[in-house]
Chains A and B, each alone.
Chain A
Amino acid sequence: MRIFRRQALPGFGLTLGLVLSYLTLIVLLPLAALVLKSASIGPHEFWAAATSPRALAAYRVTFGSAALAGLVNLVFGTLLAWVLVRYRFPGRGFIDALVDLPFALPTAVAGITLTALYAGNGPLGRWIEAAGYKVAYTPNGIVVALVFVSLPFIVRSVQPVLESLEADVEEAAATLGAGRLTILAKVILPALWPAILAGFALAFARSIGEYGSVIFIAGNMPMVSEIAPLLIVAKLDQRDYAGAAAIAVVILAVSFAVLLAINLVQLWLVRRRSAKAVR
């Protein structure tokens, strides 16, 4: 069944054509060039470059810390959005503006600042190392940097959905005798999950590509705290363009698969919810 409605912009054909050429120029062309570059070496060399033990370790570090940072922000970013939407308190506008700061700050500045804080002689690192832990120059430092740079994504994804979530649904649930936990689990979270997942996907994607802040705090030890983007830069410095492209293609493929999976889950959640609503 097709529905005809008047749109503000004229011409489906025209707009779709524009969108497709724009996407091709901005996204597809560079990606195609990347894949083409990696194809300039034979499949054996590609495989060797993409699956060397160091590359495998770097993927583990990159994807592992990106997922971990995303999970941390999934909890605390959602909580932050909740506080910002549901409560009115002095300084709320200030905190709201603060959330976007990691977007604006050059990531190298973030990296240097975090390293200064968490190094063994820094104001935070001193206490952490006295307690027997280490953050700067270990994989933990990578997670800290990624939590910082990816925080805005989850907050900004969840916030608008929460704002449009009417409080009267919760009130109705309460009058029907639901406790706080039941309301959270059965009313609020189901409505938020798609937004939380979308935010997680964005944060995860951002973290995978992050370079500037991480290299300062990571320690960059091969097999331990070396991220895949650093391996790419190292290969470029050796003028091994094809090898660098091979690793980039692997990251690209995995990222794409993960994002696709998250999007499918999100779609399924939305469908299930609207199906329930109809029922």
Chain B
Amino acid sequence: MRIRLRNSWLAVLLAASTSAIAADVTLLNVSYDPTRELYRDVNAAFAAQWKQQSGDTLTIRQSHGGSGKQARSVIDGLQADVVTLALSYDIDGLHENGNLVPADWQKRLPDNSAPYTSTIVFLVRKGNPKQLKDWNDLVRDGVGVITPNPKTSGGARWNYLAAWAYARRTLGSDDAARDFVTKLYRNVPVLDTGARGATTTFVERGQGDVLLAWENEALLAVREIGKDRFEIVVPSLSILAEPPVSVVDKVVDKRGTRAVAESYLRFLYTPQGQELAAKHHYRPRDRSVAEKYAADFPALTLVTVDEAFGGWHRAHQTHFADGASFDRIYVPGR
């Protein structure tokens, strides 16, 4: 009895002393669908480093979902300290709705605030039975293409724009590109709402002949599910996907977490952070890390949304807004 009493006093004392020296800090990182595994590792590594640096115990919670949906949650009041989303259009939305970040948020960190990049590749079944080598093979009759709905999935917008960019370059005009993309979507039997859902439809349900996927998702699928079932086909041209990151100013200023949130994002640019990104199949920005992992990331022609589509706002208006080019695939003449 006495021993137990003494122990509990000790515990109280211990708890009091640690809380006096070091604080418990929490951060919420609101991210998009396929970054779960990446940020699990990044969070552990950064929390350890932060503990050493400041003595504070840092807990980073992460939330994942479709990029647009996640942005909407933050706009509607989810207290995210940082957002790490699929496209800058969604973070722009945080500025336009409620001024949660400043207009020039993307200039605050190097490389358009995108510490890692990715691109869109094809995942096909083993042996590539339909011989799909490049985008023009996807519009052939009898080819099933699996890609999510660009209205609800950030990843699917990259897919759509990659196909469009390829078609415009090889066929020469936006009109021809429209026909090409329309034909491509005629080959899509299922429109999932998110990237993970599309991967499941292709991998588990056996639908379609090719999955348009983030390079990191495709590499993950091949590594996890096995090289004997799937292989990756890299098209001649694709899009440079730059998933951006930002602190949410309104939230960090209210919660007093700006310093730790900013170092968290800068950590992504350090060699250690870049190494983790590469390990999780994101293309690192850092030259030396990129060289080390060069075998994983084949070279191909990459176009950016800025140079090919005049930025995300123009791209959204022309392609994804109500009645824009994507809608006209299904409801012509509107």
B193 interfacial contact with A, CB 8 Å: yes
Residue of B with least CB distance to A138: B189
Residue of B with least CB distance to A122: B205
Known A-B contacts A52-B334, A240-B322; A220 and B206 likewise in contact (beta carbons under 8 Å): no
- In the bound complex, do residue A54 and residue B66 qualify as a contact, i.e. CB atoms below 8 Å apart? no
- In the bound complex, do residue B205 and residue A238 qualify as a contact, i.e. CB atoms below 8 Å apart? no
- In the bound complex, do residue B322 and residue A119 qualify as a contact, i.e. CB atoms below 8 Å apart? no
- For window 296-334 of B, CB contacts with A under 8 Å fall at 320-322, 327, 330-331, 334
Known A-B contacts A119-B207, A137-B207, A239-B97; A54 and B193 likewise in contact (beta carbons under 8 Å): no
A222 to B330 alpha-carbon distance, docked (Å): 6
A119 to B202 alpha-carbon distance, docked (Å): 11
B250 interfacial contact with A, CB 8 Å: no
A123 interfacial contact with B, CB 8 Å: no
Instruction: From A160-168, A171-179, A196-204, A228-236, give the one contacting chain B.
Output: A228-236
Known A-B contacts A220-B191, A230-B193; A115 and B331 likewise in contact (beta carbons under 8 Å): no
B130 interfacial contact with A, CB 8 Å: no
Distance in angstroms from A181 CB to nearest chain B CB is 45
Instruction: Tell which of A53, A215, A219 touches B189, judged by Cβ atoms closer than 8 Å.
Output: A219
Chain B neighbourhood of A122, CB < 8 A: 205
User: Interface size of B by Cβ–Cβ distance < 8 Å?
Assistant: 28
- In the bound complex, do residue A238 and residue B97 qualify as a contact, i.e. CB atoms below 8 Å apart? no
- In the bound complex, do residue A238 and residue B189 qualify as a contact, i.e. CB atoms below 8 Å apart? no
Instruction: From B68-76, B132-140, B235-243, give the one contacting chain A.
Output: B68-76
Distance in angstroms from A244 CB to nearest chain B CB is 11
- In the bound complex, do residue B334 and residue A238 qualify as a contact, i.e. CB atoms below 8 Å apart? no
Distance in angstroms from B46 CB to nearest chain A CB is 30
Known A-B contacts A115-B205, A119-B207; A233 and B193 likewise in contact (beta carbons under 8 Å): yes
Instruction: Tell which of A49, A116, A120, A220 touches B149, judged by Cβ atoms closer than 8 Å.
Output: A220
A139 interfacial contact with B, CB 8 Å: no
Known A-B contacts A53-B334, A54-B330, A237-B72; A215 and B193 likewise in contact (beta carbons under 8 Å): yes
Instruction: Tell which of B151, B189, B192, B205 touches A234, judged by Cβ atoms closer than 8 Å.
Output: B151
Chain A neighbourhood of B207, CB < 8 A: 119-120, 137
- In the bound complex, do residue A237 and residue B75 qualify as a contact, i.e. CB atoms below 8 Å apart? no
A221 interfacial contact with B, CB 8 Å: yes
- In the bound complex, do residue A237 and residue B334 qualify as a contact, i.e. CB atoms below 8 Å apart? no
A223 interfacial contact with B, CB 8 Å: yes
| SS of B interface (majority) | loop
Chain B 187-198, CB-CB to A under 8 Å as 1, else 0, gives 011111100010
Residue of B with least CB distance to A112: B200
Residue of B with least CB distance to A49: B322
Distance in angstroms from B64 CB to nearest chain A CB is 15
Chain B neighbourhood of A121, CB < 8 A: 205-206
Known A-B contacts A54-B330, A137-B189; A236 and B206 likewise in contact (beta carbons under 8 Å): no
A136 interfacial contact with B, CB 8 Å: yes
Distance in angstroms from A33 CB to nearest chain B CB is 14
- In the bound complex, do residue A243 and residue B205 qualify as a contact, i.e. CB atoms below 8 Å apart? no
Residue of B with least CB distance to A121: B206
Known A-B contacts A222-B331, A237-B152; A116 and B205 likewise in contact (beta carbons under 8 Å): yes
- In the bound complex, do residue B205 and residue A120 qualify as a contact, i.e. CB atoms below 8 Å apart? yes
Q: List the 3 shortest-distance A-B pairs measured between CB atoms, nearest first.
A: A121-B206, A222-B330, A237-B68
New A-B contacts (10) at CB < 8 Å, excluding given A136-B205, A234-B152: A54-B327, A120-B205, A122-B205, A215-B193, A221-B330, A237-B69, A237-B72, A238-B68, A238-B321, A239-B93
The 16 listed contacts between A and B (C-beta, < 8 Å) are A53-B331, A116-B204, A119-B205, A119-B206, A119-B207, A121-B205, A121-B206, A136-B205, A137-B189, A215-B192, A215-B193, A220-B193, A236-B72, A238-B68, A238-B322, A239-B97
